Amino acid sequence: MGLLSLSAVVLAVSPPSLGKAGSRQTLRYGVASPRAPVASEKRAASAAPLAAAADPERAVFRAPEDGVAKPPTPGHRIPGILLIKNIGALYAPERVHARHVLVVGDRIAALFAGDEDAWAWEQTAASVIDADNAAVAPGIVDVHVHITGGGGEAGPASRTPQAELSRLIRSGHTTLVGITGTDDVSRSLENLHAKCRELNELGLTCRMWTGSYAVPVQERFTMTGSVRRDVALIDEVIGVGEIALSDHRGTQPSTREIAAVAADSRIGGLLSGKGGIVHVHMGPGDEGLDPLFKVLETTDLPISQFLPTHMSRTSVLLEHGQKWIKMGGCIDMTAGNATVKALQAYASAGVDLSRVSISTDAYGSLPRFDPSGKLIGYAAARPETMLETMARLVEAGWDVEDALALGTSRPAAFVGLKGKGRVAVGYDADLMVFDADTWRVRAVVARGEQVAGEDWVRGGMFETGDGVRPYVPGGPAR
């Protein structure tokens, strides 16, 4: 019904306020006769979420002046409106004292503390999720996911599989950035780009890094002929990475070569309004961050242009990470036990943790090499490690909001993903409902649409399994 629905049932929900004798403002409902919306109504409907963003304390929609003051027709549901009610704890990721979240389209339209406001919207919402006192937080923002698979360091049989939609959703992921890694021979950016678009079509938000471990980035491993053009011209490309430094699997680039690729990505970002970040794979080599320190010492490139990852890998990287943060930079760590210990150590040392994020390296390989460089072990990273790491931090005494920020608001800010990683009016409606005690995900909303519930999850077209509802092209999941 689209715009007609919005003109047929228009609600004005105001927060508690004092009028005469301290009375509370009442809820007003305007019901108009069905008719084609005029141009002004179309503009008002399309601008409704923006109006909420500008004035979050007020209603999303206002009653028409000629509206009839009576409740909407029972059972009349407006498509595109979703209500998450009865929230036990709302994290934005900081704690917010609200019990209900209203979603209109793909944006968060309002946060309600009172049950009366939520009840009014429940009568017209097309979808309602009862959190039943569970916690709600932003969906996971993971900036380092091998969505087409990774690995290959132990031969063709060691190539890891591509990401599965249902598994990503069940682990709370709503936004991710795809990456290539070591193998730029049998893997391609075209395949990575297609997978990125697939995940977008399936309901998540996916972006990608151009390039691979190699520096200089070879023309054959871009999509337009250069890093600059990839970032500037391809919507999904937000920067270059993961270029490998201090690692025997890297191309051992010079300071000038590192600076050149960073400058290319930066200019592409400036031309397209993106971050143009250089995402840097840090290996176990003794140099640590020295290659990046040299770039900063010899060029005008800002430290904010780089986001080094795997920073909990060695004691050298942890030491250099403290220096990097003091210089105004941000770092990323790979989810897991080593990162829990590293973050605890940083907290004890008084390091500014607001400049630290975590990512999963999901579907990438986790090879282990002996001191001589011989491969002695192999595994694949899992998307579930993000929530597992957050849970371990809370068990160690961290506040829930501080643990959540590591994989939601911080990574979104570090790489320039606008509208992501927060529960706030005007932000994208990417939300997860979870048990605060067990960190079990109970429901997920991505871009305003529910993609998982207690006993079901959206899957790709060819996915099967208990509770998996495969995606149907041109329509909602079955």
Active site residues: 361
Cα separations in angstroms, 92 against 64, 100, 167, 423: 32, 13, 24, 4
Query: Residue 179: CB partners within 8 Å, gap ≥ 6?
Result: 144, 145, 146, 147, 150, 192, 208, 209, 241, 242, 279, 364
- End-to-end Cα distance, the chain: 21
Q: How far is CA 52 from the centre of its chain?
A: 22
Q: Strand 95-96 vs strand 9-12: parallel, antiparallel, or unpaired?
A: unpaired
Query: Residue 275: CB partners within 8 Å, gap ≥ 6?
Result: 238, 239, 269, 415, 416
Task: Take residue 100 and report the two structure tokens written for it.
Answer: 């209900």
DSSP 159: B
Q: Strand 28-31 vs strand 9-12: parallel, antiparallel, or unpaired?
A: antiparallel
Mapping DSSP to helix (H, G, I), strand (E, B) and coil, where does residue 114 land? coil
Q: Is 207 exposed, middle or buried (0-12, 13-18, 19+ CB in 10 A)?
A: buried
Q: For CA atoms 275, 170, 124, 101, give the dihedral sign.
A: negative
One-letter amino acid of 287:
E
Q: How far is CA 289 from the centre of its chain?
A: 27
Task: Take residue 233 and report the two structure tokens written for it.
Answer: 């011209």
Alpha-carbon distance 82 to 139, whole Å? Answer: 16
170-180 burial: b if 16+ Cβ within 10 Å, else e: bbbbbbbbbbb
Task: Take residue 56 and report the two structure tokens written for it.
Answer: 């979050």
Q: Is residue 178 within 8 Å of residue 147, measured between CB atoms? A: yes
Q: Where are the beta strands (DSSP E) in 276-367?
A: 277-282, 306-309, 331-334, 356-359
Q: Strand 356-359 vs strand 331-334: parallel, antiparallel, or unpaired?
A: parallel
Alpha-carbon distance 373 to 379, whole Å? Answer: 17
Residue whose structure tokens are 């509370």: 24
